[in-house]
Amino acid sequence: MPVAFAEIGALITRDPALRGGRPIIAGTGLCVRTIAIENNRGLSPEEIAADRPPLSLAQVYASLAFYHANKQEIDADIEAEEQAYDEGVRSSRLPSRP
């Protein structure tokens, strides 16, 4: 009986209609950058998978492999999102003009 193998490339996908075209875990809508952020904050792949029950450990590792292969792009996306958030927080603290 033949053994089934998961094609690593099939675990990560991009769709311009989902998440602004960011790379996502196929079939989930979860961005690769979310997994990268959690891992960069110190969570292990096993902890990430345990915190997100629909995800398999293979999906988490595929996300991390994709992240490391495309680190510059994803880190720039993370940084841009953090800057946009910070700017939004700052602008919400400004007094409103009469």
What pLDDT shows up at residue 97? 56
Mapped onto helix, strand or coil, the DSSP state of residue 12 is strand
pLDDT, tens digit (0-9, with 9 covering 90-100), for 15-60: 999 999 999 999 999 999 999 999 999 999 999 999 999 999 999 9
Q: Is 54 exposed, middle or buried (0-12, 13-18, 19+ CB in 10 A)?
A: exposed
CATH of domain 10-91: 1.10.10.10
Domain limits, the chain: 10-91
Neighbours of 23 (CB within 10 A): 21
